[in-house]
Structure formats: structure tokens, C-alpha cells
Structure 1
Amino acid sequence: MSHANLMNNYFSPNAVYTKEDFKRCFWMRRHVFERLLRDVHQVNPYFRQKRDGTGRPDFSPHQKVTVALRMMAYGSPTDSMDETYGMSEFTCLYTLEQFCDVIVQVYKDEYLREPNQEDLNRLIRKTEDRGFPGMIRSLDCMHWDWKNCPTRWQ
């Protein structure tokens, strides 16, 4: 039932939630989610749907990837995953571990590396265009005046 709800809410042609809702909820566009789903599904058999001991379908790849992303993006505790997706604490943690292993395996050379000079030049141009020259190596931006900064952060 939780798989059907997930599909109906976000992945069906007439999904309950819009593209903007999807991006706000998953912190990524749907095509990025689908790429992640495809990649983890191809690399790790854990993300392929199987049958449990009673012959019923196990958790779907969509559920497993959603749980892993929710735990990482929101710091969601495993007991909230049980309430929402019916997935036990052990299964949630195992799913997260498998997901992270696949992400590192698949994307380490492209995304999980130090930036090269071309990357740095592109980032410097982007930050300069947005009014933050010299932003590289100054990620905290504490030297910038922020007119609307909440008083507790000043």
C-alpha cells in the first residue's frame, strides 16, 4: 500500500503532487531521482524488487531510494520511516548503507572528487555573476554584510 501511495503521489502520470512539490520534497528534480533509481537498480541487486518469505512483493526500488534520500536529506529517524513506509529500523539502515555504497561506486569519479581548474573557473564565474567575487575557499561568507540577516545569527 505504501508503494501504491508513493507512486500515486509522485510518479504516476496524474500524480497528486506537482513537479515543484516533488523538487521541494526530494530536494531534486524527478529526472535526477529517476537516474539515481536506474543506476542503483542496475548496480546493486538489493534495489531490485523481490518476494518476501510469504510470497508477497518486498519493498520496491522507489521505496528503498525514497527512504534513503529522506533519511539523508531530512535526517529522518528510522521510526518515522516505519510509520510512513512500513520499513523496519534494520531495513532502513541497511537500505541507507547500500544506497550510499552504490552512490560512491557509481558517481565517485564524476562528482565525488576535488574540483579541477576547469571546475574552479566555472564556479568563480558563477559566484562573480551572483555578486560574490573570490568566493572559492570562503564558504562561510562571514565577511559579507547581510542586510536581512536574522539578529540571532549576527
Structure 2
Amino acid sequence: MNTTVVTGLPSEAEATLAKESGRQLSLYLSSKEDAQLIRVIDQAGEHEAVQIPTAAYRLLIDILAQMAQGNSVSLIPVHAELTTQEAADMLNVSRPYLVKLLDAGDIPFHKVGTHRRVRYQDLVQYKNRNYTDRLKALEELSAQAQELNMGY
């Protein structure tokens, strides 16, 4: 899988640095432009201007914001294919339970040899559908509790 993973949680010093650098970068974000021009300076003082897409600049600010909150960050391309273990980890379920979901047709998959692969997009769609279904059930239970004057 082509992912970039920052393993482990950021240290307190990294979180503080991420907070400050994210704040500084956000001051220079120009949403009117398709690209942002940044200057990179190396340890020797050499510098070069680099133009990056505005979407990537925003993503960098979002990554820094997550690190500032003490969160670990992973980047997963939308078209990535996940192993069953990676998909199970993303859903926070066991791999055997995920395989049952796949075999039941709840999440599309395909096989590479004998191994199942799940597209990241399909996993996100399942996760969103599951969240919506849970929210709907919670609203129905809440409405029933109100009708029965259960004090909720």
C-alpha cells in the first residue's frame, strides 16, 4: 500500500513546534491562488523557492494541526488498496470480523491471487454508511424514549 505513516504520537516538543509552524503557515495561505510559493532554506542557508498546489499547502496545515493536538497522522491515497488487516485496523475491528463483512457483501473487495484487497474508497463509504445507520437508530431510540416519558 502506498501510504505515508508517521508512527507514534508526536512528542510534546513536536506538538508545540507543529502548533506554531501551522499557525505561521496559515497566515500566508492565499485561497485565491491555485498554488502557493514557499521558500525552503537548508542548514547551510541555501534557499530555493518552491511552488506547491494550494490543496497540498492546506493539507500540510491540517497535518500540523493534528500533530499539535498530539495525534499521529497517516496519509492514504484515495485509490489505495488495503489488505484485510489494514482495513480491519481502520475500522477498529478484528480481521475475521472484517472478512465476514466482505463475504456478506457489505464491503466490496477483489482478490489478488488468494488474498483479498479492499479499496480505501469502499471502506470509507462503508464507514460513512455505518455511521449514518447508527445515528438513525439512535434518533429512533431517543424518539421512543421521549414518547414513553423515560426522562431522557
Instruction: Identify the structure with the greater strand proportion.
Output: 2
Task: For CA contacts below 8 A with separation 6 or more, give which structure has more relative contact order.
Answer: 2
Question: The TM-score by the shorter chain falls in which range?
Answer: under 0.3
The structure where helix makes up a greater share of residues is: 1
Normalised to the residue count of structure 1, the TM-score between the two structures is 0.22
Larger Rg: 2
